[in-house]
A and B are shown apart, each in its own frame.
Chain A
Amino acid sequence: MTDREHSRDNSKSRQGRVLILLDGSRTSYSALEAAAEIAARRGSDVLGVFVEEVNLLRSAGYGFTREVGSVSGISRPFDPEQLEQRMRRMAGHARQALARAVAGRGGQHDLKVARGSAVGELLALARPDDLLVLGMPRLNMVSGLLPGSPARGLIRESPARVLLWCEQRVPERSRVVVALNDHREANIRAIRTAVEASRHYQRPVTVLLPPGSQDREQEEAIRREPGLAGTDLRVRTLPATDPGSIARVLREEAASHLVLSRDNHLFREPGGDLLLAQLRLPVIITP
């Protein structure tokens, strides 16, 4: 069930595609703007993905299920017909929003409307050179990075980079911060992503080394990395990997973006993904 907006050969992506998950939420539309801008800069196409969650449709089919409001806590009947209508309406909105976002930026776009699970659909579509963009659910939306949420599943399995987008007020003199770990290949991917973001947003880079790193060679190697040499690069060693320490360092560095690998310690620390939701800054997770 692919809805093609422009007739073209989809396989000939210029710089990999930008995949954006549109779920009707405000954060997903905000992320759509960011995705369209990134795509325009990279010369990429934008592929919007709207997934009619099967689990959701099925749950509406039970007469006894109710929908509990995420803010009010009020429960109300869950009608399958209404849900179907709502899905269709949201898909229509997503299509219009996608067209508006891309219009004027010169890229091409598609909207894929699928029925299944968001994680499954995105993983099926994603290629290594793509960028997956998801709106970071706001903390008060509670769903955040709960186990089983699309974000968490994608972070773990995506072959492509994932951008958890968050609207933010970018302070002056802010920096793109990249947190490294012990995995060399993952570090290289993270640094290159950080360099790309640095160019894109015209911000200097801060590299955070894992605790105990005293390897001068590694630091030198980072400084020689194409795109970083000669820039206002700052290399710091994290005092600890707990979410609190990382949050403090990010504040000190006035981070505008955080880049880290999905193997980063943070995802293994209790409360790590909660921290990501609380940081209120865009996070790029590399494979």
Chain B
Amino acid sequence: MKFYFPKEQGQQTLDRLNARSPLEPFHPVVLQFVAALSQRFVKLRQFPEIVALGYWMRKANITSLQEQWEVANLGRNIKARGTVFHIAPSNVDTIFIYSWLLSLLAGNRNIIRLSSKELPQQHTLLQVLLDELSNPAYELLAERNILLTYVHNDHTTELLSKLCHVRVVWGGDSTVHAVRRVPLAPMASELVFADRFSLSLIHAASLNELEQEKLIQLTGQFYNDAYWFDQLACSSPRLIVWQGTTVEVEQAQQRFWQALEETHASKQAEPQAALQVQKLSTSLWLAASDEASQVAHTSAYSRVILDTVTGEIRERHCGGGFFLETTIQLLEQLAPIIADKDQTLTYFGYCKQQLELLVSIIQTRGIDRIVPIGRALDFQEIWDGQSFLRSFTREVVII
């Protein structure tokens, strides 16, 4: 084990951690710390995802989160769980910072296992974190948080798993499988973040009514959802479901893809050659399957039009602007397409009642978020169907 924070190494640092009492939820020092981080993050303009994180952490948002929390828990006795052990994904992603912050807000002690490939001094985000944690004003937090790394092995994972009251596993299916082999303390609980799939739902007739300017706005938002993390964030749309008649859908597709091509060109993003080849290969591979009826490849995107969406076809996805498409006539026809692993549905042209009806007829585990196109990557305190703050706290019942 190598400790990035605090500087002292070894078992005694771990022992000391659990000797500190947890803090009360929304402790003033935590609020100050979060606000200070937020101010530094929003200045990192070269990293839009860190700016978004900073914006989410801004004082106004945290205050409103606290107010909602207090209203919901009025008269209840809520305490932090204790120690939370976070296993971060190897490509330290901002999303794991959100869960750590929420654990801090809940009042927990934290152990964060960073990828052994990650050097904090080369990572702007971690650098800022370590810097702020070293500020004497946040001593309360410095005593309650450990950032470390180790080469993956069940022995160390078990040692840390036995110390914690909640284990949080990022990194997708294979990491979840590997970590689940390692037992937790009997009293501990676990949050895991498996591989997910996300899709968009577009009402063709509504899109056809859009003026060109509004359409460009929509494709701009869609572009952010899909291209920001090379389409590999859990919530980036990979499948577009079009609802309407054949004529409506064909018109909508034509307008949409043309506008997206313009959007793509205006962003002046530099696509990677390897990705272009990979998208061409994957689209041709899919073209050979019975489910696909048509494929198209441009430098901005690859499209594969499917007659039926099967689980196997969905897995053949390479990211980077690769879109599966299918058409439904009635909204109800979407329900059977939804699979367990589906997370975010981004939409255009629907009202809340229609979406509530859709949710009520989905029979699988699928769909945890339904948000307008453009908000796929927004973080919510409720993620993958569970509230972080609830999972990171417990209620003491007094009668």
* A and B associate: no
Which residues of A come within 8 Å of B, CB atoms? Answer: none
Which residues of B come within 8 Å of A, CB atoms? Answer: none
